[in-house]
Amino acid sequence: MKYIIKKIFFFILTLLIVVFLTFLAFQIIPGDPAVSLLGTEGTPLKVAALREEMGLNKPVGERFLTWVLNFMKGDMGISYSYQIPVSELITDKIPVTFLLTMLSFAFIICMGIPLGIYTSKHAGSRLDRLIMTVNQVTMAIPPFFLGIILTYLFGLVLKWFVPGGYISYSDDFFGFFTYLIFPAIAIAFPKSAMVVKLFRGSIIEEAKKDYVRTAYSRGNTINGVLYGHVLKNAILPVITFLAVVFADIIAGSIIIEQVFGIPGLGRMLITSIQNRDYPVVQAIIVCIAFVVLGSNLLADILLKVLDPRIKL
Amino acid sequence: MKKPEYHIVFTVVLLGVLTFLALMGFIHTPYDPDAMNGLEKFAAPDLHHIFGTDHFGRDVFSRVCKGLGTTFFVAVTTVMIGALGGTVIGALTGYFGGILDEIIMRFNDVVASFPSVLLAMVFISILGPGKYNVIFALGIIFIPSYARMVRSEFIKQKNFDYVKSAKLMKAGSFRIMFLHIFPNTTSVFMSSLAIGFNNAVLAEAGMSYLGIGVQPPDASLGRMLSESQAYLFTAPWFAIFPGIVIILMILGFSMLGDILQQKNGGI
């Protein structure tokens, strides 16, 4: 319990540091937001008034505090280029990216774990060597290129889906869901290959240990030892890795959304970066930071539950 | 039991060919990579244009060579910045320890838990896109992972007898750190260079694909892929060849990393 509290404390601390650093990073950008907001209409008087209104005259520390407090209340500032509150802009994008991430994560687990177990059980066999060779190549495919290949193969040649024909979840949830399947595969495929490699290696290492020999000598079958003893220990490094993978999926989804024309958080982020729309960039980065650090926290807690020996 | 090590031969050949192509991109390509030719738009691969031509009639093979050169350049310089900065920080914190070590490592953990593409995007949104900004952003972002690796090696090595003997001989701290300990970490260091190289290639390609990485007139494999997407049906070769070259590059370096790790008694 003490471990979990400590971890949660560090989670909050790191989150605050990240939020502060992003805030600071966008403060040191050359250029005055008030000037760029007013554009050509920016008379010195108007600029001064707007600076006052936006609170730009206050010290950085105070502005940071108000920003954090507003952020927690759901007020993320106003977008420079759209002139509407950032929260309005991103709330309907979050479910899109969320579902895409979850779907990819589910694919990774469904492909990675069983294949890892299978190949380690039959390590050295012809099929194992074939799978591991394909695996090595799969690991090297950049997700966005796989996305392009999938678009060509299943979208243009086989016509299983319409490339760019994204359907909003509020219109037709089923259509939306099916449209996300190929993007999710594009993200998941290379990552699940990494999971297979790691899990296979971890099981094989674990199977060399003494307790496995003892378990065999007590008359357990291969499956009994594998599922009863080995997997419990071999899965631990995989869980740590899955937390990293989760963060990578979010980064990957930013690119994949662009490939498949899905209007999610990632697309919003890219257009905002190109338009230098800092409040939006800031808000999205903080949201992603929250999810990334949160998944790390969850993995730590899960590890502790599975393996009580782990110490901080 | 001595098996012929086909995978090593394969890796060496693969990386050799890629390096050759990248050098060609710097020195001489069969066609001018930027020369447009309205008569030869979307020419399918044949003997004149072995990878075909793109929507401006430019030779895809020449552009792939040039893009490969850019990618190599970005990845190598990025890894150099990351490795150099990481080694200095990791060596100092690992060797001396103390409160500064704690603070820097906590900061490192934060940065390392973030996907590098995402952090690079924050940098790019502040600095603006371009080849050198990408190198700068990725280089800085790679420092923590190298620092962490070098630090743990230094902590392991600093209690070994040879370090103690060097101390008895009144060797200076910096002499011990960089002339005695550092050469002993090269095995781990080399394989992490290969991994870092791959991450740099992926990040650069991804960012250039998004249009916030390398900017024209610099050719880039990622950018070629994003341009090719609109003409996927008419000219699939325009997308496939740059993509395959990226895959081969990452495959080659990840195998190199594995081989280096195996040679040093890893799994």
Take residue A263 and report the two structure tokens written for it. 């209007």
Q: What's residue B58's pLDDT?
A: 78
Nearest-by-CA chain B residue for A205? B267
Take residue A23 and report the two structure tokens written for it. 């805030």
Instruction: Give the minimum alpha-carbon distance from A267 to chain B in angstroms, rounded to a whole number.
Output: 10
Instruction: Give the minimum alpha-carbon distance from B86 to chain A in angstroms, rounded to a whole number.
Output: 20
Sequence length of chain A is: 312
Query: What are the chain B neighbours of A255 within 8 Å (beta carbons)?
Result: 117, 206, 209-210
**Between chains, do A288 and B210 touch, taking CB under 8 Å as contact?**
no
- Peptide bond before B30: cis, by omega within 30 degrees of 0? no
Give, rounded to a whole angstrom, the gap between the first and last alpha carbons of chain A: 12
Residues 6 or more apart in contact with residue B127 via CB below 8 angstroms = B133, B136, B137
**Between chains, do B243 and A156 touch, taking CB under 8 Å as contact?**
no
| Whether B112 contacts A290, CB under 8 Å | no
**Between chains, do A145 and B225 touch, taking CB under 8 Å as contact?**
yes
Take residue A73 and report the two structure tokens written for it. 């209340």
Distance from chain centroid for Cα B110: 22
d(CA B108, CA B112): 6
B241: phi then psi, degrees, rounded to nearest 5: -65, -45
**Between chains, do B239 and A254 touch, taking CB under 8 Å as contact?**
no
Count Cβ neighbours within 10 Å for each residue of B243-264 and write b for 16 or more, e otherwise: bebbbbbbbbbbbbbbbbbeee
**Between chains, do B243 and A25 touch, taking CB under 8 Å as contact?**
no
d(CA A14, CA A30): 27
**Between chains, do B206 and A152 touch, taking CB under 8 Å as contact?**
no
What pLDDT tens digit does each residue of chain A (312 aa) get? 778 888 888 888 888 887 887 777 777 766 666 666 666 666 777 777 777 766 666 777 777 788 788 877 777 777 777 778 888 888 888 888 888 999 999 999 999 899 998 888 888 888 888 888 888 888 888 888 898 888 888 877 787 777 777 777 777 788 888 888 889 999 999 999 999 988 898 888 888 888 888 888 888 888 878 887 788 888 888 888 888 888 888 888 888 888 888 888 888 888 887 777 778 888 888 888 888 888 888 888 888 888 777 664
Question: Which residue from A140, A251, A281 is facing B117, i.e. has the nearest CB?
Answer: A251
Query: What are the chain B neighbours of A252 within 8 Å (beta carbons)?
Result: 115
B163: phi then psi, degrees, rounded to nearest 5: -70, -40
Q: For chain B, which residues make up each domain, given as ranges?
A: 5-19+60-265
At which residue do the structure tokens 């800092």 appear? A278
d(CA B264, CA B232): 44
| Helix-then-strand count for chain B, H and E | 10, 0
Residues 6 or more apart in contact with residue A96 via CB below 8 angstroms = A169, A257, A262, A263, A264, A265
B44 sits in the region (left: phi over 0; alpha: psi -120 to 50; else beta) called beta
Domain formed by A91-278, architecture: Orthogonal Bundle (1.10)
Closest CA to A270 of A256, A287, A290: A256
Residue A157: how many other CB atoms lie within 10 Å: 12
Instruction: Give the minimum alpha-carbon distance from B159 to chain A in angstroms, rounded to a whole number.
Output: 23
**Between chains, do A250 and B236 touch, taking CB under 8 Å as contact?**
no
Question: Which residue from A29, A152, A254 is facing B236, i.e. has the nearest CB?
Answer: A152
User: pLDDT digit string (tens) for B107-161?
Assistant: 777 777 777 777 887 788 778 778 888 898 889 888 888 888 888 888 888 888 8
Amino acid at A298: L
d(CA A280, CA A71): 12
Prediction ipTM score = 0.82
Instruction: Give the minimum alpha-carbon distance from A141 to chain B in angstroms, rounded to a whole number.
Output: 5
Closest CA to B93 of B108, B78, B74, B115: B108
| Whether B94 contacts B155, CB under 8 Å | yes
Q: What's residue B4's pLDDT?
A: 61
Give, rounded to a whole angstrom, the gap between the first and last alpha carbons of chain B: 17
d(CA B69, CA A296): 37
CA distances from B136 to A20, B202, B204 (A): 22, 16, 12
Low-confidence ranges of chain B (pLDDT < 50): 1, 266-267
Nearest-by-CA chain B residue for A151? B232
Question: Which residue from A25, A28, A144 is facing B122, i.e. has the nearest CB?
Answer: A25
Query: Would you tell me the crossing angle of helices A231-260 and A94-121 to the nearest 10 degrees?
Result: 140
Closest CA to B112 of A240, A280, A287, A189: A240
Q: For chain A, which residues make up each domain, given as ranges?
A: 91-278
**Between chains, do B115 and A293 touch, taking CB under 8 Å as contact?**
no
Question: Does the CB of B110 have a partner CB in chain A at under 8 Å?
Answer: yes
User: pLDDT digit string (tens) for B5-23?
Assistant: 788 888 888 888 888 888 8
Question: Which residue from A25, A259, A272 is facing B126, i.e. has the nearest CB?
Answer: A25
Q: What's residue A241's pLDDT?
A: 85
On the CB side of A112, how many CA atoms lie within 13 Å of its CA?
Answer: 28
Tell me the three state secondary structure of residue A308: coil
d(CA B63, CA A299): 44
Question: What DSSP assignment string belongs to A194-238?
Answer: HHHHHHHHHHHHHHTSHHHHHHHHTT--HHHHIIIIIHHHHHHHH
Q: What's residue A106's pLDDT?
A: 93
| Whether B153 contacts B185, CB under 8 Å | yes
Query: What are the chain A neighbours of B225 within 8 Å (beta carbons)?
Result: 144-145, 148
Nearest-by-CA chain B residue for A246? B115
Q: What's residue B267's pLDDT?
A: 40
Interface test with A, best of B126, B226, B258 (most A CBs within 10 A): B126
In the CATH hierarchy, which fold is given to the domain comprising B5-19+60-265? MetI-like fold (1.10.3720)
Query: Would you tell me the crossing angle of helices B99-112 and B131-157 to the nearest 10 degrees?
Result: 130
| Whether B95 contacts B177, CB under 8 Å | yes
Count Cβ neighbours within 10 Å for each residue of B33-43 and write b for 16 or more, e otherwise: beeeeeebbeb
Sequence length of chain B is: 267
- Using alpha carbons only, how large is chain A's radius of gyration in Å? 24
H or E element that contains A93:
none
**Between chains, do B113 and A141 touch, taking CB under 8 Å as contact?**
no
Residue A55, burial from CB neighbour count under 10 angstroms (0-12, 13-18, 19+): exposed
